[in-house]
Structure 1
Amino acid sequence: MATTATPPTEPGEVPTAPVPPVEAEERQATHPVDRPVFWISAVVILAVIGFGAVFPERFETGSTAALNWVIVNFAWLFIIAGNIFVVLAVYIAVSRYGNIKLAANAGEEPEFGTLPWISMMFAAGMGIGLMFYGVAEPLAHYFDAPPPLELDPASPFFGDELTEGALVYSFFHWGLHPWAIYAVAGLALGYSTFRKQRGNNLSDAFAPLTAGRRWGPLTGKAIDLLAVFATVFGTAASLGLGALQVAVGLDIVVGVPEPTRLELIVIVALTAAFVASAFSGVHRGVKWLSTTNVVLALLLIVFVFFAGPTLFILDAWPSAIGGYLTDLVGISSATGAFGGADWMGTWTIFYWAWWLSWAPFVGTFIARISRGRTIRQFIVGVLLIPSAASTLWFAILGGTALWQQNHGEDFSGAVAMGEEYSLFALLESLPLYSLLSGLSMVLVAIYFVTGADSASLVLGSLSSHGSLAPKKPLVVFWGATIGAVAAVLLLSGGLQGLKNATIVVALPFVIVMLLLCVSLMKELTRDPAAHPLRHQLRHKGFRDAIRKLVGEEVESRTAAPNRWGRSRLRFGVGGKRSGTEE
């Protein structure tokens, strides 16, 4: 295998062995299966699939009861944790830790170019969600205003305020908070994997808290198991949304009947597609599909931008961003304690749980594609670029739907039928409806594939000691398992069943993520690259200065007799006796 030359190291770094070119992914060493993690997670998940398939009504009843308990007792925890991740990500980016590189050597270059990096990150992070909620969420907030907005229906500006508030809350749910969660998880994993040269497991990022302790290995397995559960159910929820939307699109555009059966057919077909894509690896299948999706998404929103109310969108986007940033502290602190608890559970708490359940998957994936970037580049790229793109997406699609709602169109019927109908209702009001609908279904399908094959690769890594190139049969197993979970959740409870499972599974993972923040900061504060001057003084200049001072001080005493008439002994730095007694 060809190797690259070892680049120069940063101050205090120990030179490492030559790093193999990452693009030769198929030739990377794979690790054996982590049997405890794999078998425990596989048995539990397959048992859930079996129970949900045989007793769908009981499964829905149990998940709904668990959901209500989580929302009543732990809504505050999700809200506080979300704010912690935003503050921590911003602090790390602007601090001296931002100069640290996610690589063992200072000279290592980023593995991927900027465009492929952003494309893969964006597609893995929330591609399906943007297609599903891009029109649906602003309209839903328009017809059912978020309680924290406190709007006055008697105000002459009520309609404008409601429209802006719908966009502001959409920006809030898809802006800084979700990407801060991904940034913290991805940074911790990237730092542990590429800077500290540990494994690629989530538990490896907890080494500062668990290493050398009797309970460390057991805790590590528990962390990896929770990461597997969160990834499977969080990804399955997203894939279920995608299958719902593709099935509805086929029903509306082509007239395919029996939506439930169609949803299952869509899941099976797309599951087969993403398993095939996962075989080709990150550098081929995931990379090219993600880039293709970004191009298609740009075509869609550019067309809607010019075919829709262009001037309104240009006015609404900066105005809603200003409202979002101005009210960010207030809306990000609302818990429903003073009203609106049901609304918070349906929207904000669900979203925060969804992002948390995706954190091990998206975090592992964006860490995997971010090798060689500095921490500041990583956080700015992960936090700001996708957040800005998400707000633009909602401003164009959601803003067009809101403008049309205020100028003669009526989308209330589509919203009442379900969120999956909203996008097609908007496209029907625009030119080239059939072409746009077909393009949208292709987009959702490719987002399904890129998200799921990325998840299956990450699950393979989590269940094989953090291997960057997990064995193909393991990837196939996890891909099929994700598809099966999505099918069971759809059959047992539809969209609400997807939401229920996501929130319940995410609860224990909130604690894991908060502890991950502690572990990350503990390591960053000890990194020599964060204190280059102090490190140089400690390891070179300070040591030389001490030697010189000690030597001069001892030499100056050699001629001075003590009170017993003897000259003092002279010792060199090495401790050898160099003087003589008179």
Structure 2
Amino acid sequence: MKTDSAALPDTTTRRTSRLGDPVVLGLSVGFILLFVALSLYDIDMVSAGIGAGFAWTARTLGSYFQLLLLLTFFIAIGVAVTPAAAARIGNRATPDMSTFKWLSIIMCTLLAGGGVFFAAGEPVYHFVVTPPAFDSEPGTAAAVPGALAQSFMHWGFLAWAVLGSLAAVVLAHAHYDRGQPLQPRTLLAPVLGEKLMAGVFGGVVDAVCVIAVVAGTVGPIGFLATQVSFGLHELFGLSSGYLTQLVILIGLGIIYVTSAVTGIDRGIQMLSRFNVFLALVVATVIFLFGPTLFLTNAFTQGFGEYLSSFFSMATMTAETAPAWWMQWWTVFFFAWFIGYGPLMAIFVARISRGRTIRQMILAVAVLAPIATTVWFTLLGGSGIYYQLTGAIDLTEALNNFQFDVATLTVAQALPGGTLMGVAILVLTTIFVATTGDSMSYAIAVVGTGHDEPNVLVRAFWGITMALMAAILLYMGAGQISALQQFIVITAIPVSLVLLPSLWTGPQAAYAMAREQGLIAAPKEASNG
């Protein structure tokens, strides 16, 4: 067996300055400045341009995005059941952190980008507006399984798999066993060659992936400010104006920048663990004191419908469903996850050292999605129950995509009323903070090529995203939406970065297993 390769990156991945690759930094910061400048110059022009690109991408490449997620999930599960999956990340006998800490970071990092924001409202939306895959009458008991199943499709197995399975295996092998940097360019090295990817082109690839994550992360940060300000106004009568939103952004920024600066083993881990404990408390209260029987039945029926209608939902296109629906739901979410894919895979590979490939894939692509479906059932299922019984009416708010209204309305209807509303606002805030800290950290890793990037670089990216959210909110929440739509456009090049992992992922797994003596090397053909 090889010696512990954890030392390799310390000497072989120092390919950039401590402050970062100038190509990655220049293109990424240049995009931010250009987007803000153009928005200041002509907001309508920017929104219209991004909207047109968003619509074209969804219409033209939606099926490609869906197939990429489907193939990623099933190939990853195939790898997980092979003998090669017993290989350990980083060739370490024991994990770097406990299982609970590891799973907490995974759950908080990958779910927080938007799952918490949509958990209450999306199932209710699909309850009052029947998804195209189903024909039940909206707003009736028969519509409950389909409503939950559609939400599970968007936030379930496919979404999680593309965020940290095959790509994470490729990166783990390349980094810990071959000394290549934890950067998106490394995913293309097996196809295009290390020499090309070590140059300017590699910097461009990294920058595109960073831009996608910035676009996808600034959205939740900005929307959190609007959601919390709305909640404080409804619960305590405080102003919901820009000043309140700015104070919220400053507080959020302080939390996640501090967490990112103190690192994975301290701030990121502690924040994630606290959030998981709080989520478990909230979930327990909802289940025990809410509509327990309804939630139990709804989950059973919804998950069963999810499995039985899996392929019909996953492969539905604009030819068989309304184009606007596909654009704003399935394709939007799938493209969003693709945009996050490379940097999330970097983060998963970084925290999974000492875990087996099987553990990593099953945790990310199976266990975490199931936990997500439970969370969506507790919040969204409760919302459906109160909508069905007439305790609340979210039809108008959800038809206008006002998910901040939906979250607070459902929270107030839950046991505890105002107290539960405050708890869910705190929970949502910390969930978004865990996305902010992990992505600040991951962007810094990409920019510097180091496992432990300079704390100033981590702080720079955290502050930059909060500042960008503040500027765009000042212009209007519409610009936050426009930036979030932009991630669908960036999903085009990012998908090409992830695409080779469909075949290099299994290859990397088997290479790791052979290097660790778990499977025999293939016999060389004889010369005779």
- When normalised by structure 2's length, the TM-score is 0.91
Could you say which residue in structure 2 is the equivalent of 1:577? none
Cα separation, partners in 2 of 1:230 and 1:88, compared to 1, 3 Å:
same
Could you say which residue in structure 2 is the equivalent of 1:270? 252
Return the alpha-carbon distance in structure 1 between the equivalents of residues 187 and 505 of structure 2: 7
* Residue 83 of structure 2 is aligned to residue 136 of structure 1: no
Could you say which residue in structure 2 is the equivalent of 1:178? 159
One-letter code of the match for 2:140? G
- Post-superposition offset of 1:56: 2.4
Alignment of 1:157-168 (within 5 A): 159-168=140-149
Return the alpha-carbon distance in structure 1 between the equivalents of residues 107 and 275 of structure 2: 10
The equivalent position to 2:382 in structure 1, one of 400, 410, 417, is: 400
Identity of aligned residues (%): 27
Return the alpha-carbon distance in structure 2 between the equivalents of residues 129 and 437 of structure 1: 18
Alignment of 1:188-337 (within 5 A): 188-211=170-193, 217-337=199-319
Return the alpha-carbon distance in structure 2 between the equivalents of residues 50 and 395 of structure 1: 42
- Post-superposition offset of 1:391: 0.7
Cα separation, partners in 2 of 1:213 and 1:287, compared to 1, 3 Å:
closer
Cα separation, partners in 2 of 1:136 and 1:273, compared to 1, 3 Å:
same
Return the alpha-carbon distance in structure 2 between the equivalents of residues 438 and 248 of structure 1: 12
The equivalent position to 1:534 in structure 2, one of 501, 517, 520, is: 520
Cα separation, partners in 2 of 1:102 and 1:125, compared to 1, 3 Å:
same
Q: Report SS of the residue matched to 1:147.
A: coil
Alignment check: 8 A CA contact 1:96 1:530 kept = no
Count residues in correspondence.
Answer: 517
- Post-superposition offset of 1:495: 6.0
* Residue deviations 1:478-510 (CA, integer Å, cap 9, x gap): 112212333355435156324412212222211
Could you say which residue in structure 2 is the equivalent of 1:478? 461
Alignment of 1:397-546 (within 5 A): 397-409=379-391, 410-416=393-399, 418-464=402-448, 466-490=449-473, 491-492=475-476, 493=478, 496-527=481-512, 528-529=514-515, 532=518, 534-535=520-521
**Greater relative CO, 1 or 2 (CA 8 Å, sep 6+):** 2
Cα separation, partners in 2 of 1:498 and 1:297, compared to 1, 3 Å:
farther
Cα separation, partners in 2 of 1:214 and 1:429, compared to 1, 3 Å:
closer
Q: Report SS of the residue matched to 2:345.
A: helix
- Post-superposition offset of 1:308: 1.4
Q: Report SS of the residue matched to 2:298.
A: helix
One-letter code of the match for 1:438? V
Alignment check: 8 A CA contact 2:441 2:458 kept = yes
Return the alpha-carbon distance in structure 1 between the equivalents of residues 5 and 102 of structure 2: 26
Return the alpha-carbon distance in structure 2 between the equivalents of residues 102 and 84 of structure 1: 23
Which range moved further: 381-390 or 64-73?
Answer: 64-73
Alignment of 1:329-408 (within 5 A): 329-408=311-390
Cα separation, partners in 2 of 1:92 and 1:445, compared to 1, 3 Å:
same
- Post-superposition offset of 1:459: 0.9
Alignment check: 8 A CA contact 1:274 1:450 kept = yes
- Post-superposition offset of 1:139: 0.9
Which range moved further: 507-516 or 323-332?
Answer: 507-516
Could you say which residue in structure 2 is the equivalent of 1:558? none
Q: Report SS of the residue matched to 1:431.
A: coil
User: Rg: which structure is higher?
Assistant: 1
Structure 2 residue ranges without an equivalent (≥5): 11-15
Q: Report SS of the residue matched to 2:500.
A: helix
One-letter code of the match for 2:440? S
* Residue deviations 1:37-62 (CA, integer Å, cap 9, x gap): 21222222222122224432222122
* Residue deviations 1:445-491 (CA, integer Å, cap 9, x gap): 21222211111111111111x21111122112211221233335543
Cα separation, partners in 2 of 1:317 and 1:18, compared to 1, 3 Å:
closer
- Post-superposition offset of 1:237: 1.9
Return the alpha-carbon distance in structure 1 between the equivalents of residues 83 and 518 of structure 2: 10
Return the alpha-carbon distance in structure 2 between the equivalents of residues 118 and 338 of structure 1: 38
Alignment check: 8 A CA contact 1:290 1:450 kept = yes
* Residue deviations 1:273-321 (CA, integer Å, cap 9, x gap): 3222222111111100100000111111111112211011111212211
Return the alpha-carbon distance in structure 2 between the equivalents of residues 217 and 261 of structure 1: 44
Cα separation, partners in 2 of 1:497 and 1:196, compared to 1, 3 Å:
same
Cα separation, partners in 2 of 1:534 and 1:363, compared to 1, 3 Å:
closer
Alignment check: 8 A CA contact 2:9 2:180 kept = no
Return the alpha-carbon distance in structure 1 between the equivalents of residues 418 and 211 of structure 2: 39
Alignment check: 8 A CA contact 1:97 1:530 kept = no
One-letter code of the match for 1:40? L
Alignment check: 8 A CA contact 2:169 2:508 kept = no
One-letter code of the match for 2:333? Y
Structure 1 residue ranges without an equivalent (≥5): 1-8, 23-28, 547-582
Cα separation, partners in 2 of 1:485 and 1:350, compared to 1, 3 Å:
farther
One-letter code of the match for 2:327? G
Return the alpha-carbon distance in structure 2 between the equivalents of residues 499 and 232 of structure 1: 9
Could you say which residue in structure 1 is the equivalent of 2:13? none
Return the alpha-carbon distance in structure 2 between the equivalents of residues 443 and 503 of structure 1: 27
Could you say which residue in structure 2 is the equivalent of 1:100? 87
Return the alpha-carbon distance in structure 1 between the equivalents of residues 196 and 172 of structure 2: 26
Return the alpha-carbon distance in structure 2 between the equivalents of residues 376 and 525 of structure 1: 12
Return the alpha-carbon distance in structure 1 between the equivalents of residues 372 and 221 of structure 2: 19
Return the alpha-carbon distance in structure 1 between the equivalents of residues 54 and 360 of structure 2: 34
Runs of 4+ displaced beyond 6 Å: none
Return the alpha-carbon distance in structure 2 between the equivalents of residues 376 and 518 of structure 1: 17
Return the alpha-carbon distance in structure 1 between the equivalents of residues 222 and 343 of structure 2: 17
Cα separation, partners in 2 of 1:233 and 1:18, compared to 1, 3 Å:
closer
* Residue deviations 1:144-200 (CA, integer Å, cap 9, x gap): 1111213367xxxx8222111110001111110111101233222222222333211
Q: Report SS of the residue matched to 1:148.
A: coil
Return the alpha-carbon distance in structure 1 between the equivalents of residues 472 and 312 of structure 2: 34
- Post-superposition offset of 1:111: 0.6
Alignment check: 8 A CA contact 1:274 1:453 kept = yes
* Residue deviations 1:543-568 (CA, integer Å, cap 9, x gap): 9xx9xxxxxxxxxxxxxxxxxxxxxx
Cα separation, partners in 2 of 1:221 and 1:518, compared to 1, 3 Å:
farther
Return the alpha-carbon distance in structure 2 between the equivalents of residues 440 and 326 of structure 1: 32
Q: Report SS of the residue matched to 1:84.
A: helix
Cα separation, partners in 2 of 1:65 and 1:405, compared to 1, 3 Å:
same
Return the alpha-carbon distance in structure 1 between the equivalents of residues 6 and 63 of structure 2: 48
